[in-house]
Amino acid sequence: MTIAPKLLVAMAVAGVLVLPATAQQSVPPTPFDMSPESGLRTAPVAPAPAVEPAPAVEAAPATAASFERHIVPFSQLQLVGEDARQAVEVYLTQAQAEAPASVEVGYLNAIVAAPEASTLEVTINGTKIVSGPIAASATTGKLQAAIPAGLLRAGGNGIEFEAVQRHRTDCSVASTYELWTQIDPATTLLRFEGTGLDRVTALSEVAAIGFDASAVTTVRFIVPELATPAVTAAAIELVQQVALALHVPEIVVELDDSLPADTPVGTLNVVLATAATLPSGVSIMQPQASAGPLAAFVPASVAGNTLVVSGPDWGSITTAMRAISAASVPADPDLLLQRVDLANPIPRVTGATSLTLSDLGVPTIEFNGRRYRTSFEFALPADFYANMYGQAQLLLDAGYAKAVLPGSVLDIYANGQIASATPVLRTDGGLSRATPIKVPMTNFRPGRNEIEIELLLQTEADLECAPGLTGSAPPRFLFSNTTQFNIPDFARAAALPDLQAFAGTGAPYDGTQPVPLVLGQGAQVTPAAMTWLARLAIASGAVVPVTLVGEGQLDPADNALVVSPLTALSDALLNRSGVARTISAGPGATGDRAIVDRFNQTVGAPSASTLDTIRNWVADKVGLSPQNFWLTRPEDGAYLPQSADAVVLAQAVQPEGGVWTFLTIPDDKTFLRGVQRLTQTANWRAITGRVSALGANDPAVIAIQPGGRTLVQTQPFSVFNLRLVAANWLSTNVLEFTALLAGVTLLLTLVTAALLKSLGRRQ
């Protein structure tokens, strides 16, 4: 009998639709044992009643025979200079680590790079995999090689790109800035051979979700009861836990009503629901979710990698969420949690510390070029308070060739700002052992800090620049990773408001108690809040639990978070935010003149007064800001958003003592897009002051410093810490220090005069 083609197609589609249910009835699903990860146990599922077998259907298409993983966690990666390297971390499942694999690197380089003297090298877990000449200035070049069996491992794998580049014709230091090799994130990947390698099956492998070609990880949340405040709070906490477990720097949070039909690379679906409300696409998990707490991946899901967090009630779901937290605990509590973009160890520094560069991932190198650059990172606590007086110290172990000329210099940068410039005086070829170089802590910040060391070398041979010298010059510099970086004891106190400490460490929300959170009206408010707090968790390495409250439930004496468009903020809440509802129309705009005057006064706008002119001139000469010369601190004015699409992050200390942090925007239709823009790594690390704002057309984050800060004790009282706090406060408040010094001098003069009068020679 002949069956019509359309009927065959209809039968096939019907079979696919009923396949999950049929599989559940004929073969009970294997219980998910979460004991290795969270200590939770789930009851086995009882066999379902037997049913008649489903009609035969066409076999589903086989999964792809190979799988690709992007490995560059940046939107762009440039290796600049004569010797440049970048380490990244790639997380793999057990199946991926055991599969045959190869690495492919797409790159483009500057036309001035000499291919005969320039090489690009890729190292995986300390083993060189591929090396080749840099010769792709016209079109994208490619390096590829098979990875030896057994080299990859389940979990984190270190991959390092190193470019050694030399100029074709120029031997000057300036020419080294023209050398670059750009690694293409879209075509730089690991390729695995085998089927089913795109699947993540265990909570311990969540980080293997990875990211897409744009270095972004998408997390789709399906939460049927999201309208309930307690469920919204649970979703906000869960997205932070997932963000930490993913070990990625950039995530995009989406909310869906149902399970999507397609899950691209770098995307994770998260279903948060009780067993009774699980979506039909994951109904196979319902028996297990009804039996107890469940946090597991869906087997054979048509929607790709889908994590289900469920249970018979919300109490059990809270228990299940703890299993996600177990995947985001640092292996060493003294180090920050590693991420794909932070492959080298980052120690937490809470006091006097000596760090050896070898422990920070910096190699010893022998160098024959003109400009050498390396870097390392460390983290400071939220209450770091020594930016105006403290000095760290680099004890340099290095060697210089006799050919090095005076005029060579060693520069040290702290968080992108020059901190020290030291001339290289040794030109006799001797070693420099533990040579101290002072590094002011002016640009240190709470949270993650980056120190860059750059050496600029000049020789007679470079001035002559004989043909072929750029690639054949003899070694002229040895940098040893026995070099130490010493950080002294520093003051510990919170100076509020401080968005830099908030963005870097989550302060003052320490995570020990749920923080009251007010969500305004609007469809984009909840995903904006989830994206914002996920970024905060990624930066600080900790989850901030929240409890949703109404505006009337806020206690000004307690800390709180507010996420709402400006249009949805009440006047009472707006007055406590430090943000004005009025939008600035640019220079010369009319409007609330009192607000404009207060704003100009707050940011230290130029004034026509002679006193202000002198103050600004002196501040510029001594490297301070005009605010350091204020005797009385002006009241902070309300910030005027510069455009309707400018997302604003503001922190205000309430008169009653609470610290409230606001996330807002004038135009609620652009809220989510604005928050996604602000939470990008480069923009997030630029957040500081009492207000930080970023519009769609702004080239950088606009930061407004507070007129004054409130010091809050964070450590048990000690005279030693009080002395350090006083030193930093007096260095910040120059006029107060001057007045105090004058008062002490006057008092000493009067006491001396009195003593001389009473004890002097009598006539």
For residue 574, the one-letter residue type is: L
Statement to judge: residues 360 and 474 lie in one domain:
yes
> Would strands 306-310 and 267-272 be described as parallel, antiparallel, or unpaired?
parallel
- Unique residue bearing structure tokens 């790109």: 161
Predicted pLDDT of residue 738: 73
Residue pLDDT, tens place only, 416-457 = 999 999 998 765 567 888 999 999 999 999 999 999 999 999
Q: Which two tokens stand for residue 167?
A: 């100029």
Q: In the predicted model, what is the mean pLDDT of residues 172-176?
A: 94
Three-class DSSP labels, 425-458? CCCCCCEEEEEEEEEECCCCCCEEEEEEEEEECC
Predicted pLDDT of residue 138: 92
Predicted pLDDT of residue 707: 84
Residues 696 and 700: their CA atoms lie apart, in Å, by 10
Element (H, E) at 675: helix 671-678
Contact 118, 143 (CB under 8 A): no
Residues 243 and 249: their CA atoms lie apart, in Å, by 9
Q: Is residue 708 part of a domain?
A: yes
Q: In the predicted model, what is the mean pLDDT of residues 76-92?
A: 96
669 CB-contact burial (10 Å; exposed 0-12 / middle 13-18 / buried 19+): middle
697 CB-contact burial (10 Å; exposed 0-12 / middle 13-18 / buried 19+): exposed
Q: What is the CA radius of gyration of the chain?
A: 30
Predicted pLDDT of residue 586: 53
How many other C-beta atoms are found inside a 10 Å radius of the C-beta of residue 758? 7
Residues 166 and 370: their CA atoms lie apart, in Å, by 10
- What contacts 17, CB < 8 A, 6 or more positions away? none
Statement to judge: residues 189 and 213 lie in one domain:
no
Predicted pLDDT of residue 9: 35
- Which CATH number goes with the domain that contains 161? 2.60.120.260
Statement to judge: residues 600 and 663 lie in one domain:
yes
Q: Is residue 306 part of a domain?
A: yes
Least confident of 231-245, 406-420, 576-590, 652-666: 576-590
Element (H, E) at 158: strand 155-164
Residues 610 and 343: their CA atoms lie apart, in Å, by 53
Predicted pLDDT of residue 243: 96
Output b/e per residue, 716-726; b: 16+ Cβ within 10 A.
Answer: eeeeebeebbe
pLDDT at 505 over 50: yes
Least confident of 17-21, 471-475, 490-494, 584-588: 17-21
Predicted pLDDT of residue 744: 84
Q: In the predicted model, what is the mean pLDDT of residues 41-70?
A: 46
Predicted pLDDT of residue 17: 33
Q: Is residue 357 part of a domain?
A: yes
Statement to judge: residues 424 and 466 lie in one domain:
yes
How many other C-beta atoms are found inside a 10 Å radius of the C-beta of residue 337? 19
**What does the mean pLDDT of the chain come to?**
86
Predicted pLDDT of residue 330: 81
The boundaries of the domain holding residue 97 are 68-193
Nearest to 117, CA basis, from 473, 585, 448 = 473
Residues 572 and 580: their CA atoms lie apart, in Å, by 12
Q: Which of 178, 193, 208 is the last residue of a domain?
A: 193
Residues 101 and 148: their CA atoms lie apart, in Å, by 8
More confident call, 631 vs 760: 760
pLDDT at 543 over 80: yes
Statement to judge: residues 218 and 235 lie in one domain:
yes
For residue 431, the one-letter residue type is: L
pLDDT at 235 over 50: yes
Q: Is residue 723 part of a domain?
A: no
Statement to judge: residues 232 and 322 lie in one domain:
yes
Residue pLDDT, tens place only, 398-414 = 998 888 888 899 999 99
Q: Which of 436, 471, 487 is the last residue of a domain?
A: 487
pLDDT at 631 over 70: no
Residue pLDDT, tens place only, 26-45 = 333 333 333 333 333 333 33
Residues 566 and 579: their CA atoms lie apart, in Å, by 9
Predicted pLDDT of residue 732: 80
Statement to judge: residues 339 and 227 lie in one domain:
yes
Statement to judge: residues 407 and 553 lie in one domain:
no
Residues 732 and 629: their CA atoms lie apart, in Å, by 9
How many other C-beta atoms are found inside a 10 Å radius of the C-beta of residue 708? 16
pLDDT at 611 over 80: no
- DSSP one-letter string for 520-582: -SSTTHHHHHHHHHHHHHHHHSS---EEE--GGG--TTS-EEEE--GGGS-HHHHHTTTB-SS
Whole-structure pTM value: 0.84
Q: Is residue 725 part of a domain?
A: no
pLDDT at 742 over 60: yes
Distances (CA, A) of 700 to 104, 625, 637, 682: 34, 21, 22, 9
Q: Which of 193, 219, 245 is the last residue of a domain?
A: 193
pLDDT at 609 over 70: no
Predicted pLDDT of residue 619: 56
Q: In the predicted model, what is the mean pLDDT of residues 245-263?
A: 92
Residue pLDDT, tens place only, 282-319 = 999 999 999 999 999 998 666 689 999 999 999 999 99
Contact 12, 19 (CB under 8 A): no
User: SS3 of 584, please?
Assistant: coil
Contact 368, 479 (CB under 8 A): no
More confident call, 264 vs 620: 264
Predicted pLDDT of residue 36: 34
More confident call, 511 vs 107: 107
Could you tell me how many residues make up the chain? 763
Q: In the predicted model, what is the mean pLDDT of residues 478-496?
A: 96
Statement to judge: residues 519 and 623 lie in one domain:
yes
- Rounded to the nearest 5 degrees, what angle is found at the Cα of 692, between the Cα atoms of 691 and 696? 140
What are the strands, taking DSSP E only, across 338-390?
A: 353-356, 365-367, 371-380
Statement to judge: residues 622 and 607 lie in one domain:
yes
Contact 377, 344 (CB under 8 A): yes
- Which CATH number goes with the domain that contains 12? 3.30.379.20
Q: Is residue 322 part of a domain?
A: yes
Residues 643 and 639: their CA atoms lie apart, in Å, by 12
Statement to judge: residues 42 and 166 lie in one domain:
no
- What contacts 579, CB < 8 A, 6 or more positions away? 566, 638, 639, 641, 648, 650, 662, 664, 691
Residues 357 and 584: their CA atoms lie apart, in Å, by 48
Q: Is residue 443 part of a domain?
A: yes
Q: Is residue 61 part of a domain?
A: no
Statement to judge: residues 184 and 213 lie in one domain:
no
> Would strands 515-519 and 546-548 be described as parallel, antiparallel, or unpaired?
parallel
The domain tally of the chain equals 5
- DSSP one-letter string for 210-242: ---TTS-EEEEEE-TTTTSHHHHHHHHHHHHHH
Residues 90 and 70: their CA atoms lie apart, in Å, by 9
Residue pLDDT, tens place only, 196-206 = 999 999 999 99
Predicted pLDDT of residue 590: 34
Q: In the predicted model, what is the mean pLDDT of residues 519-526?
A: 95
Predicted pLDDT of residue 564: 97
